[in-house]
Structure 1
Amino acid sequence: AVLFVCLLQYLSGFGNELASEDPRCPGSLPEGQNNPQVCPYGLYAEQLSGSAFTCPRPTNKRSWLYRIIPSVKHKPFTKASCGDLTENWNEVEPDPNQILSSAFLVSEDIPFLLSFVVPSSCYGCMGLHTVCGAGDAKSRNGIGIHVYTCNTSMVDSCFNNSDGDFLIVPQQGEILITTEFGKMMVEPNEICVIQQGMRFSVDVFGETRGYILEVYGAHFELPDLGPIGANGLANPRDFLCPVAWYEDRKVSTGYTVINKYQGKLFACQQDFSPFNVVAWHGNYTPYKYNLKNFMVINCVAFDHADPSIFTVLTAKSTRPGVAIADFVIFPPRWGVADHTFRPPYYHRNCMSEFMGLIKGHYEAKEEGFQPGGASLHSIMTPHGPDADCFEKNSTAELSPERVAEGTMAFMFESSFSMAVTKWGLQTCQKLDKSYYQCWEPLRSHFNPNWKPSTQ
Structure 2
Amino acid sequence: MTFRYMPGFGNDFETESLPGALPQGQNSPQRPAYGLYAEQLSGSPFTAPRGANERSWLYRIRPSVRHTGRFRPTLFERWKTAPNLYDHELPIGQLRWDPTPMPNEETDFLAGVRTMTTAGDVATQVGMAAHVYTANASMVDDYFFNADGELLLVPQEGGIRVMTEMGAMEVTPGEIAVVPRGMIFKVELVDGPVRGYICENYGAKFTLPDRGPIGANCLANPRDFKTPVAWYEDKEAHCRLTVKWCGRFYRTEVDHSPLDVVAWHGNYAPYKYDLSTYSPVGAILFDHPDPSIFTVMTAPSGEEGTANVDFVIFPPRWQVAEHTFRPPWYHRNVMSEFMGLIKGKYDAKEEGFVPGGISLHNMMLPHGPDAEGCEKAANAELQPVKLENTMAFMFETRFPQHLTRFAAEAETLQDDYIDCWKDLKKRFNGTPEGDWS
Structure 1 residue 17 displacement after superposition: 0.5
Q: Aligned partners of 2:5, 2:198: CA distance in 1, in Å? A: 24
Residue 250 of structure 1 aligns with an amino acid whose one-letter code is E
Q: Aligned partners of 1:249, 1:59: CA distance in 2, in Å? A: 35
Do residues 416 (structure 1) and 399 (structure 2) align? yes
CA deviation map 1:143-192 (0-9, x unaligned)? 11000000000121111000001000000000011000010000000000
Q: Secondary structure at the match of 1:265?
A: strand
Conservation of the 8 A alpha-carbon contact between 2:90 and 2:408: no
Conservation of the 8 A alpha-carbon contact between 1:89 and 1:132: no
Q: Aligned partners of 1:446, 1:319: CA distance in 2, in Å? A: 40
Q: How does 1:16-415 map to 2 (within 5 A)?
A: 16-22=11-17, 25-73=18-66, 74-87=68-81, 88-93=84-89, 95-105=91-101, 107=102, 110-117=103-110, 126-204=111-189, 205-251=191-237, 254-403=238-387, 405-415=388-398
Q: Secondary structure at the match of 2:80?
A: coil
Structure 1 residue 448 displacement after superposition: 1.5
Q: Aligned partners of 2:95, 2:35: CA distance in 1, in Å? A: 56
Distance 1:271 1:451, change over 3 A: closer
Q: Aligned partners of 2:431, 2:417: CA distance in 1, in Å? A: 35
Gaps of 5+ in 1: 1-5, 118-125
Residue 70 of structure 1 aligns with an amino acid whose one-letter code is P
Gaps of 5+ in 2: none
Conservation of the 8 A alpha-carbon contact between 1:89 and 1:134: no
Distance 1:451 1:143, change over 3 A: closer
CA deviation map 1:350-370 (0-9, x unaligned)? 000011000001100000001
Q: Aligned partners of 2:256, 2:57: CA distance in 1, in Å? A: 20
Q: Aligned partners of 1:112, 1:435: CA distance in 2, in Å? A: 30
Structure 1 residue 450 displacement after superposition: 2.5
Q: Aligned partners of 1:257, 1:89: CA distance in 2, in Å? A: 29
Conservation of the 8 A alpha-carbon contact between 2:301 and 2:308: yes
CA deviation map 1:11-58 (0-9, x unaligned)? 110000011100xx1011111010111111111001000000010011
CA deviation map 1:423-455 (0-9, x unaligned)? 0110x3100010010100001111313279xxx
Q: Secondary structure at the match of 1:432?
A: coil
Structure 1 residue 96 displacement after superposition: 2.5
Residue 274 of structure 2 aligns with an amino acid whose one-letter code is N
Q: Secondary structure at the match of 1:372?
A: coil
Structure 1 residue 90 displacement after superposition: 2.8
Structure 1 residue 65 displacement after superposition: 0.4
CA deviation map 1:314-333 (0-9, x unaligned)? 00000000001000000001
Distance 1:451 1:305, change over 3 A: closer
Structure-1 residue corresponding to 2:412: 430
Structure 1 residue 93 displacement after superposition: 4.2
Structure-1 residue corresponding to 2:425: 443
Conservation of the 8 A alpha-carbon contact between 1:245 and 1:277: yes
Do residues 10 (structure 1) and 11 (structure 2) align? no
Q: Secondary structure at the match of 2:406?
A: helix
Q: Aligned partners of 2:316, 2:155: CA distance in 1, in Å? A: 18
Conservation of the 8 A alpha-carbon contact between 1:30 and 1:36: yes
Q: Aligned partners of 1:420, 1:290: CA distance in 2, in Å? A: 30
The two structures, once aligned, show a CA RMSD in angstroms of 1.1
Structure 1 residue 94 displacement after superposition: 6.6
Distance 1:243 1:112, change over 3 A: same
Residue 265 of structure 1 aligns with an amino acid whose one-letter code is F
Q: Aligned partners of 1:189, 1:302: CA distance in 2, in Å? A: 29
Runs of 4+ in 1 over 6 A off after TM superposition: none
Q: Secondary structure at the match of 1:376?
A: strand
CA deviation map 1:181-227 (0-9, x unaligned)? 01000000000000100000000131100000011131000000000
CA deviation map 1:275-320 (0-9, x unaligned)? 1100000000000000000001011000000000000010000000
Aligned residue pair count: 430
Q: Aligned partners of 1:355, 1:182: CA distance in 2, in Å? A: 30
Residue 418 of structure 1 aligns with an amino acid whose one-letter code is Q
Residue 80 of structure 1 aligns with an amino acid whose one-letter code is T
Residue 225 of structure 2 aligns with an amino acid whose one-letter code is F
TM-score, normalised to structure 1, is: 0.93
Q: Aligned partners of 1:451, 1:155: CA distance in 2, in Å? A: 65
Q: Secondary structure at the match of 1:160?
A: strand
Q: Aligned partners of 1:305, 1:451: CA distance in 2, in Å? A: 24
Q: Aligned partners of 1:451, 1:421: CA distance in 2, in Å? A: 46
Q: Secondary structure at the match of 1:272?
A: coil
Conservation of the 8 A alpha-carbon contact between 1:114 and 1:151: yes
Q: Aligned partners of 1:450, 1:310: CA distance in 2, in Å? A: 34
Q: Aligned partners of 2:164, 2:178: CA distance in 1, in Å? A: 11
